[in-house]
Amino acid sequence: MSDTVSRRTVMKGAGATLGAAAFAHAMAPLTEWSKDLSVGEFLQKHYKELTRDEMGRILVHLKEETKRKYGRDVDIRDLPPQEGVSFGYALNLSVCIGCRKCSEACHQENNHDRRTGNSYIRVLEMQQGSLDLEHGNANYDHPVPAEGKYYLPVQCHQCDNAPCVKVCPVQATWKEADGVVVVDYNWCIGCRYCEAACPYHARRFNWAKPEIPAEEINPDQGYLSNRIRPQGVVEKCTFCLHRTRAGRLPACLEACPTGARVFGNLLDPKSPIRWVLENKRVFVLKEELGTRPRFFYFFDK
């Protein structure tokens, strides 16, 4: 009896050792993963709870990290929303020709992954006479504008009643005072619930670590906008807040060759965006969902 018991005990010990070794072996690829994991980043607080000092240190750390991982000196800032500013965007569908210069500019401005050619803007080629997205096509590959078609660029609508913000379980995404919906890339847990919730396909997930050659990196970066995002978090259009909060225009607007895009402060009665809203017949996409977008479409005629 005691013999069998001790034999059993030895066997168990051997089994446990073997199991532990096999487990360690199976999990070995994790050393790669944990190298990228710093204690400071792991313990970092939510954006809204950071003091100025803490944010300063984080920005320094992020710059060093970009240098180490991507080989480029960059400037990362954390510009707050301006008092009395509420951003709005409008797009003239009569003049948009579907050239996708805006998507390209977005891709470069926001340091998107080069391998996937990502962009926050998707341009749909639509059937003349129909607003039904079912008849749209985002993967057209011929000279534009094509006969019988019009073009509908779609990006984040910075919804005032944003489903993405509502569903996020950890408040990693929220609406700023100037109306821009942002993501704290250092807080997002990567559940992609917001991606499922957004009715405008405006969110992107970093399925792998973004690849960008050092010379192509845009060094003018914001903590909440175009800094190079970590693997495993969700990102989105921020109306280029690192530019617009400094008084400049979004990159997509500057790139548009036809002047289809209008951007500005909704609270300023003399702004071009106000003129469009007051003088054009304006509509929003999927109004029935109650998302209350601050991205508007209009036709000239």
> Contact positions toward ligand SF4, by CB under 6 A?
156-159, 162-164, 167-168, 170, 172-173, 181, 183, 188-194, 198, 200, 202-203, 234, 236, 291
Among the listed residues 87, 150, 151, 200, the single contact to other proteins using CB under 8 A: 200
In order of 88, 154, 190, 219, 300, the CA distances from 61 in angstroms are 33, 34, 22, 15, 49
Beta bridge partners of 149: 127
Q: Regarding beta strands 75-77 and 87-92, do their DSSP bridges make them parallel or antiparallel, or are they unpaired? A: unpaired
Q: Rule CB under 8 A: say whether 163 interacts with other proteins.
A: yes
Collapse the DSSP code of 206 into the 3-class scheme (helix H, G, I; strand E, B; otherwise coil) and give the result.
coil
For the CB of residue 149, give the shortest distance to other proteins in the complex, in Å: 15
204 binds, among other proteins, ligand SF4, none (CB under 5 to 8 A by kind): other proteins
236 binds, among ligand SF4, other proteins, none (CB under 5 to 8 A by kind): ligand SF4
Of 243, 234, 244, 178, residue with least CA distance to 202: 234
37 binds, among other proteins, ligand SF4, none (CB under 5 to 8 A by kind): other proteins
8 binds, among other proteins, ligand SF4, none (CB under 5 to 8 A by kind): other proteins
Q: Rule CB under 8 A: say whether 295 interacts with other proteins.
A: no
**Residue 160 in contact with residue 294, Cβ under 8 Å?**
yes
Q: Rule CB under 8 A: say whether 212 interacts with other proteins.
A: no
Q: Tokens in use for 164?
A: 């993405």
What is the per-residue binding string for other proteins in 176-195, x denoting contact by CB under 8 A? Answer: -----------xxxxxxx-x
| CB within 8 Å of 222: residues ≥ 6 apart | 76, 77, 78, 79, 238, 241, 242, 245
Stretch that binds other proteins, among 64-72, 76-84, 166-174, 269-277 (CB under 8 A): 166-174
In the complex with other proteins, the residue whose CB is nearer, 59 or 167, is 167
By 3-state DSSP, what share of the chain in percent is helix, strand and coil, each rounded to 5? 35, 15, 50
